[in-house]
Structure 1
Amino acid sequence: MLGVAFEARDVVRVGFVGVGGRGLSQLNEMLAVEGARVTAVCDVVPGQIRKAVERIEKAGQPRPFQSTDWHDICRRDDVDIVYICTPWDHHVDPAVYAMECGKHAAIDVPAATTLADCWRLVDTSERTRRHCIQLENCCYDVDEMLVLNLVRTGQLGRITHGEAAYIHDLRSTLLADHAEGLWRREPHTTRNGNLYPTHGLGPVAWYMDIHRGDRFTRLVSMSSLQASLEAYRDATVPADSPKRAETYVCGDMNSSLIQTAAGRTVLLQHDVVTPRPYSRINLVQGTRGAFCSYPARLFLDGQGHAWQAVTPELRAAHEHPLWKQQGDLARKLGGHGGMDFIMNYRLIQLYRRGLPPDIDVYDAAAWSAPGPLSEISVAWGDIPVPFPDFTRGAWRAAGPVRAGVD
């Protein structure tokens, strides 16, 4: 499915599966996108469906079909793309069924949590000729798209190394009695590795043209001891809570190294349980310079020995065309600083114009695969493990991702 275009249509009809916290947030962004119509919504909580319907009608769109069964959404003739915002373990089944029903699927991150499910998505997409898009909003953040522009225009030279992460103190979220606290803590009791790899890795994969002339070939991973989530629980949760009986096995920090066929390297980290500032690192190193976020800074060969802060003037000079075109509206809507709107806008406009998606099923699989691969590496004493070639060799011939310059 590399380079396979959407079928062009003026209005793209979207069916939402999951309209909880994340789903409602994405619904708000989608309702602001020209050419998008939300025709169906599904959630296991009827109250969430009512909230979604109210927002859809307030936006001036017709009352959508409603169901608590996602199969109903996938089977409808008035849905072109099934937009899945469910807990992680409930991503793959709706996506596979949607494609089998002739619909494209768009999945929140990570697309899958096992290698078998990564392959299920790839195999189904290829067999049905339907796209499976991973909704990786961080690829469309203002800094990440600025870096992509720097890379595409040759400012950083030949890219050799990248660093990516999801470092986010989620202790209170994980231990809450509502929302993500109902499901997101469970993987910490059963898995030891990188539980959430795509936010940092997706943009770096774009910088390196992964699946478009290069691919990930092997991964080695190790985890620190587990300590912080347990300590926070013991300090904040009542002694008679069932949470006190839980045993956490996921190390506080997981660090993985990934190598590519071209010899590039990627450091990928995951830490959601320690007290520290948020970071995706977002570092890319080339032969002519480097960029790193948190805070955003640039270093170009010959400028001395210190980073250059990304000033408004520098940002304006290198801002990605997509943000120049849509940035004001994106910032006004405000979903994760505007990246959510840019992602949804881009998805719908590519569909309307009959162009291939920026993020395809091979990206969805490869960006999600460090989850299970890191678990394998850690469990076997931090050994290197081979990285599957989800494209079956097609990565050699594909051109670079266009991402807003077509």
Structure 2
Amino acid sequence: MIKVAVAGLGFGRQFVPIYRDHPLVSSVVTADPAEGSSLDDVLADPTVDAVHIVTGLTDRADHVVAALEAGKHVASTVPMALSFADISRIVEARERSGTTYMMMETAIYTRAFLYAAGLAFGNISHARGVHTQDMTGWPGYWRGLPPMHYATHAIAPILHLLDAPATQVTALGGGLLDPRNRGGYDNEFAVESALVRVAGRNTVVELTRSLYQVARPYAETFSVYGDRLGFEWDRDMVLHTLQPPTEARGRQVTTEPVVAPDRPDLLPEEIRTYTSGGHDGSHPHLVHEFVSAVVEGRPPAIDHTRAANWTAVGIAAHASAQRGGVPVALPHF
């Protein structure tokens, strides 16, 4: 059993009871300045085995590196970092420490993704990921953030289904940010859209991301189209089936609505009730994967290498958009 600390009790507060009830967790402590406790205190505590870092976007890379250097297993909210340099710092710190790093990407544990992961798409020729969210009124470090720097929710389900890393990105930016929505970043775009090349795949992957000035409700969606099945998750889910050819022109496609089931069967009994929670039921699956990986001494599903690639897609996309669509290769982490 392991002792876990949760650092950052904004969004992080939702994970505390899940860790508390997990059968492989002996105890949970928290760290948050508002609670009179600090990350430094947690990292100095030899009884703490693992730290789930849910701290601010601009401080996260420093916090993750510090936790790894303290010899802790680390779970981190998304994205991994905001620059190639900080991704490299985290990867190198993880390699020196030999401990576990997992990026807690909700998108590959949603009901929708768990359903799609069980489908036989055939050869996937086209996929699309979209994440729209208005950040007006959020903490100041979000203001002006390049939309693609927070792209992991949109790209993760696609790359995970394709089981291959991205290698190159071509992107364009659209819309001019209102001066009130500009901050301490080199970004003027309200929206960024990209085409992503994937290693060893002939799949066209589209990606769109926005943070301000887009009249669309919050959405994390993905669509995947193969030569047998197609799956779309927008506000609802549908499944398309390509029928066998006949003598008529064109092949018929039948479409049916889908309600993805909850998957408590994938979890220990003690935390199954938490699948009714946020991010489409993903939180207990994330906790279980992280805790299990630490206890079993194996790489987690979203280890430092996969997290680095998924995060780097967005950083490369913004760099491409700034250059008017010049292709940008992803570093190999």
Deviation of 1:321 after TM superposition, in Å, equals: 5.8
Indicate conservation of the 8 Å contact 2:21/2:270, yes or no.
Answer: no
1:33 aligns with 2:22: yes
1:164·1:268 contact (CA, 8 Å) conserved in 2? yes
Report how far residue 258 of structure 1 moved: 0.7
Counterpart of 2:255 in structure 1 is 307
Question: What CA distance in whole angstroms lies between the structure 2 residues aligned with 1:382 and 1:209?
Answer: 26
Aligned residue identity for 1:90: D
Q: Give the equivalent residue in structure 2 for 1:329.
A: 273
Q: Which residue is equivalent to 1:113?
A: 82
1:162 maps to which of 118, 127, 134: 127
1:299 is matched by which residue type in structure 2?
A: H
Q: What corresponds to 2:93 in structure 1?
A: 124
1:54 aligned partner: none
Structure 2 equivalent of residue 58 of structure 1: none
Q: How does 1:225-374 map to 2 (within 5 A)?
A: 225-227=175-177, 249-262=187-200, 263-273=202-212, 274-294=214-234, 295-302=236-243, 304-311=252-259, 315=260, 322=266, 329-332=273-276, 334-374=277-317
Matching residue's letter, 1:113: L
Distance 1:99 1:149 in 2: 34
Residue identity matched to 1:44: P
Query: What's the secondary structure of 2:325's corresponding residue?
Result: coil
Letter in 2 for 1:276: R
Q: Which runs of 5+ in 2 are unaligned?
A: 245-251
Q: CA deviation at 1:324?
A: 11
Of residues 12, 24, 41, the one that matches 1:72 is 41
- Structure 2 residue 50 is the aligned partner of structure 1 residue 100: no
**Hey, what does 2:247 align to over in structure 1?**
none
Are residues 376 and 337 of structure 1, via their aligned partners in 2, closer, same or farther at CA, if it must alter by over 3 Å? closer
Q: Which amino acid aligns with 2:208?
A: Q
Structure-2 residue corresponding to 1:240: none
Aligned residue pairs: how many?
323
Distance across 2 between alignment mates of 1:32 and 1:101: 26
Q: Say whether the 8 Å CA contact 1:217–1:260 is kept in structure 2.
A: yes
For residue 16 of structure 1, the aligned residue among 6, 28, 31 is 6
Aligned counterparts of 1:327 and 1:71: Cα–Cα separation in 2: 29
> Deviations for 1:192-224, whole angstroms, at most 9, x for unmatched residues?
4513111121121110102xxxx2111011110
Residue pair 1:253, 1:270 contacting (<8 A) in 2 also: yes
Could you state the TM-score of these two structures normalised by the residue count of structure 2?
Answer: 0.87
Amino acid at match of 1:224: G
What percentage of residue pairs aligned between the two structures are identical? Answer: 25
Which has more strand, going by share of residues? Answer: 2
**Equivalent in the alignment of 1:381:** 324
Q: Counterparts of 2:263 and 2:24 in 1: how far apart (Å)?
A: 25
Structure 1 or 2: larger helix share? 1
Q: Judging changes above 3 Å, is the alpha-carbon distance between structure 1 residues 323 and 355 closer, same or farther for their aligned structure 2 residues?
A: same
| Contact 2:167/2:199 (8 A) holds in 1 | yes
Map 1:174-185 to 2 at 5 A.
174-175=136-137, 180-185=138-143
Secondary structure of residue in 2 paired with 1:259: strand
Aligned counterparts of 2:182 and 2:170: Cα–Cα separation in 1: 33
Which AA in structure 1 matches 2:203?
Answer: R
Amino acid at match of 1:109: V
Offset at residue 349 of structure 1 (A)? 2.8
One of 192, 196, 202 as aligned partner of 2:150 = 196
Separation in 2 of the partners of 1:321 and 1:340? 14
Structure 1: runs of 5 or more not aligned: 1-10, 50-66, 234-242, 391-406
1:319/1:289 CA distance change after superposition, 3 Å: farther
| Structure 1 match to 2:248 | none
Q: TM-score, normalised by structure 1?
A: 0.72
Amino acid at match of 2:47: D
Query: In structure 2, do the counterparts of structure 1 residues 31 and 323 end up closer, same or farther at CA, with 3 Å as the change threshold?
Result: closer
4+ residue runs over 6 A deviation: 243-248, 323-327
Taking the aligned partners of 2:304 and 2:47, their CA distance within structure 1 comes to 23
Q: Which amino acid in 2 is paired with 1:310?
A: V
For residues 252 and 222 of structure 1, the distance between their equivalents in structure 2, rounded to whole angstroms, comes to 11
The question of whether the paired residues in 1 share the 8 Å contact of 2:242 and 2:253 is answered with: no
Q: After alignment, is 216-225 or 158-167 more displaced?
A: 158-167
Structure 2 CA distance for aligned equivalents of residues 120 and 245 of structure 1: 25
* Cα distance in 2 for residues equivalent to 1:246 and 1:127: 32
Residue 157 of structure 1, CA deviation: 0.9
Q: 1:208 to 1:199 in 2, by over 3 A?
A: same
Aligned CA distance change for structure 1 residues 143 and 40 (closer, same or farther; 3 Å): same
Match for 2:170 among 209, 220, 229?
A: 220
